[in-house]
Each structure stands twice: as C-alpha cells, then as structure tokens.
Amino acid sequence: MIVLDYKDRRPIYEQVAERLQELMLLGILEQDEKLPSVRGLAVELSINPNTIQRAYMELERQGYIYSVKGKGSFVADVSAAREARLGELKAELGDLAARAVQLGVGPEDFLKMAGDAYGKAGEKT
C-alpha cells in the first residue's frame, strides 16, 4: 500500500501523506472509507506514530480526510481536489504544447513524445 523511500530528501510524513493522496485520487481509498489507525499504520510501516499523526494532520488540513472523535480518520470527498489537479495538468500541457510549437515540433511528434513519456511514467508505478 505505502512504500517509503529512505533515500528521498523529503520527510517521511510528506511521503506518507503524498502516497495516501494518490490512493484517494485514484479511487483506491474511497470517500468515507476509514483509514488505518495511527498506531496500526505506524506498526505496518515500522515508523513512529507521531509521523503518521503528522501526515494525517496535513491531509486533514488540505481537506483530503476528516476525523470523527473516537472513531478515527476517514477519506473526504476528493472530487474537487481531483478536478483542480486535472486543471493544473491541462495548463501544464498547454505550456508544453506552446514550447513544442516554438521549437517547431509538429503535432504528431508532440503526441508521440507525450505517449512515450506517459508509458515511462506508467512503468515507474
């Protein structure tokens, strides 16, 4: 579920939060689904519970999860976050397309490069 990279310069709590965000945006963790307890996830990942607590606090601050006192943490409705990320992606693609035009790259070549990059990105996950 969550794989940590100890060579990554980012703090562990950021890696945990980012991976949980990915799982939510992909729909693997669905809306209103209960997240593992702080202690349970800490044991599973062999890290300090305070690290998980910090990741959960960050996710809650960003609106990805919500807490119910005495019950735990749950996945919030992430459809707005997903739409915002898709909007950012479209803007970045527009910028890349504009750069391709400036370099004289044709639409077919641009689409081929995009497809190749997408394939390589899919291999990493």
Rounded Cα distance between 24 and 22, Å, is 5
pLDDT of residue 59: 97
pTM assigned to the model: 0.79
Residue 38 has pLDDT above 70, yes or no: yes
DSSP 47: S
Burial category of 16 from C-beta neighbours within 10 Å (exposed 0-12, middle 13-18, buried 19 and up): buried
Confidence class of residue 79 from pLDDT cuts 50, 70 and 90? very high
Residue 23 has pLDDT above 70, yes or no: yes
Confidence class of residue 69 from pLDDT cuts 50, 70 and 90? very high
* 108 contacts 114 by C-beta, under 8 angstroms: no
